[in-house]
Amino acid sequence: MRSRQIGLHAALTVGGLLMLFPFVWMLFTSAKGVRQMINDPTAWLPDPWTWQNYPDALSTMPFGLAYWNSFYIAALNVVLTLLTSAMAAYAFARIRFRGSGVLFVLFLATQMVPSQVTIVPLYLMLARFGWIDSHLSLIVPTIANPFAVFLLRQFIRAVPIELEEAARIDGAGRWRCFWSIVLPNIRPGLGALGIIVFLASWNSFLFPLIFLNTPELATVPLLLSQFAQQHGATDYGQILAASAIAVVPTLIAFLIGQRKIINSMAASGLGGK
């Protein structure tokens, strides 16, 4: 048994190092100069270290504005998704009505439809609303999240219903039970879901590419793509420096939330056999 555990940990360590390799290579290459990448492209360490790539990348493109756009869009997506998903999950978990089971299955079935399939009708709908080339096109369509509803429903079902029954006896209504009893008891699930939604919103590229036209509205992934198109054949150091700048928020969110996500999945029953 001990040999199996050692072999498992060794395999996981090797896998982790392999996954970490591209990130480390990006950091090292972002500190290389153009001359070194032309003369010795396979060199592992920069010689010399060229940290000027970072301020050059920041001054070439408006990364500050793109950071702000991505951050506030992601923040609004997190808040609105948690609010609407929690209310929908509570309705599916606690309120019994005719056809609720079928409706929940149909709602989950929409998760199987790739977003690329619905992008044409979504574009036409947003155009009618006048939301094309607006950040509303990146916020409103993401509020209805089937996975978020499913995840929070699992957490709500784990909350003892006796707590709500006692509150109902004391005169509390549905809203009071939801805000004062259910939400405080599913905070781990809300935290994990918030991190997942934030990462998905920050890394989104397809929707900003299609729905945004004004450069001042660009998000970080979209600006990074434009930066790579302008410097792709001239300076890989600046490209990877810009990539390192873009990945910082997702790395921080992952480091903060990885344990919370794993524990929340296990608590909700999604990590069970």
Q: What one-character-per-residue DSSP string does 75-141 give?
A: HHHHHHHHHHHHHHHHHHHH---TTHHHHHHHHHHGGGS-TTTTHHHHHHHHHHHT-TTSTHHHHGG
State the residue for tokens 């506030």.
Answer: 72
The model carries a pTM of 0.82
Nearest to 224, CA basis, from 197, 244, 243, 196:
243
Nearest to 215, CA basis, from 200, 201, 225:
225
State the pLDDT at residue 110: 85
Task: Show the low-confidence residues of the chain (pLDDT under 70).
Answer: 1, 231-235, 257-273
pLDDT, one tens digit per residue, over 106-155 is 888 888 888 888 899 999 999 999 999 999 999 999 888 899 999 899 89
Tokens in use for 216? Answer: 């001042």
CA angle 257, 260, 261 (to 5 degrees): 85
State the pLDDT at residue 271: 47
Amino acid at residue number 52: Q
